[in-house]
């Protein structure tokens, strides 16, 4: 990329560059294929976030807090306030869950701010340029739809759990067939049972879909914009404008990173609150 491609080579070079950066590192297992890069990086970031929060909790003092402790306390109080305003039941599980979601998703989103070619440069330094060309590594787990849907499906299972916990197994099943259209008389109840079931299934299934697709769409689009900027300014002549455009987009993207983590957390708490309340 030392020289600027021209004509068809430019389009082909940019296309190959983007395709390479959008290809996952996959591993074959007996049960199927997984995106190894998303799985490993998401797990590592989750452990890192847990370790950092644990160390601050261990060092917490009632006196003058350190800057790190003050920041962690600010995040914890912020999340707890959001849960308190939304969920009116027992928050002993919901508040830690919301904090975990917010911190973990924010950590995964923040990987999008790393220099785009840093993984390739690291692989080149260790194994050579040829190995880097054939090694795929995407470092933003939330730009992978498998990661976001894994999170949203977990939230969906919690929604079902809290619905059954609040209404009972029979109450939950009955509500699927009797709400939102209530009817009097056996015949009317039978007639409206199928429409009610259909609407409830659509409502329940739309929650994990909206959660997963919203987070994935925003992070994938942000990642793609970084790649387009890098590809369009790939020569030394346009290096300075490329750095400027990348910096501007990165600053704006910080807002998206935090906002998407916040939205995912808030919607999770809202959905669990709706499931917990008796209808």
* Residues recognised as catalytic: 210, 214, 218
Bridge partners, 33 (sequence order): 28
- Residue carrying structure tokens 């079902």: 160
235 Cβ neighbours under 8 A, 6+ residues apart: 1, 2, 3, 4
Question: How many Cα atoms sit within 13 Å of 11 on the Cβ side?
Answer: 2
* C-alpha to C-alpha distance for 213 and 220, rounded to whole angstroms: 10
Residues 6 or more apart from 59 whose CB is under 8 A from it?
Answer: 66, 69
CA separation for the pair 199, 142 (Å, rounded): 30
- H or E stretch covering 26: strand 26-29
C-alpha 69/C-alpha 89 separation (Å) is: 28
The helix (run of H) or strand (run of E) holding residue 27 is strand 26-29
Token pair in block for residue 89: 């039941």
Residue 258 phi/psi, 5° resolution?
Answer: -75, -40
User: What 3 state SS string does 200-267 have?
Assistant: HHHHHHHHHHHHHHHHHHHHHHHHHHHHHHHHHCCCCCCHHHHHHHHHHHHHHHHHHHHHHHHHHHHH
């Amino acid at each position: 990329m030392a020289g600027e491609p021209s004509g068809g080579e430019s389009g082909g070079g940019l296309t190959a560059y983007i395709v390479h950066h959008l290809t996952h590192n996959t591993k074959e297992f007996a049960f199927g294929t997984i995106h190894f890069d998303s799985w490993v990086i998401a797990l590592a970031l989750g452990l890192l976030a847990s370790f950092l929060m644990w160390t601050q909790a261990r060092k917490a003092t009632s006196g003058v807090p350190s800057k790190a402790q003050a920041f962690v306390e600010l995040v914890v109080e912020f999340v707890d306030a959001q849960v308190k305003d939304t969920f009116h039941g027992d928050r002993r599980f919901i508040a830690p869950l919301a904090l975990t979601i917010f911190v973990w998703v924010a950590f995964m989103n923040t990987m999008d701010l790393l220099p785009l070619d840093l993984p390739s440069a690291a692989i080149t330094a260790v194994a050579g340029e040829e190995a880097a060309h054939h090694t795929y590594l995407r470092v933003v787990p939330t730009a992978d739809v498998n990661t976001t849907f894994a999170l949203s499906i977990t939230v969906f299972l919690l929604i079902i759990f809290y619905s059954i916990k609040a209404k009972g197994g029979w109450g939950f099943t009955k509500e699927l067939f009797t709400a939102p259209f209530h009817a009097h008389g056996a015949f009317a109840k039978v007639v409206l049972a199928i429409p009610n079931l259909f609407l409830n299934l659509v409502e329940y299934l739309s929650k994990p879909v909206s959660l997963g697709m919203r987070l994935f769409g925003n992070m994938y689009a942000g990642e793609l914009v970084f790649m387009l900027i890098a590809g369009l300014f790939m020569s030394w002549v346009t290096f300075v404008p490329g750095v400027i455009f990348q910096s501007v987009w990165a600053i704006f993207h910080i807002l998206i990173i935090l906002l998407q983590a916040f939205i995912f957390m808030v919607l999770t708490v809202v959905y669990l609150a709706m499931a917990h309340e008796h209808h």
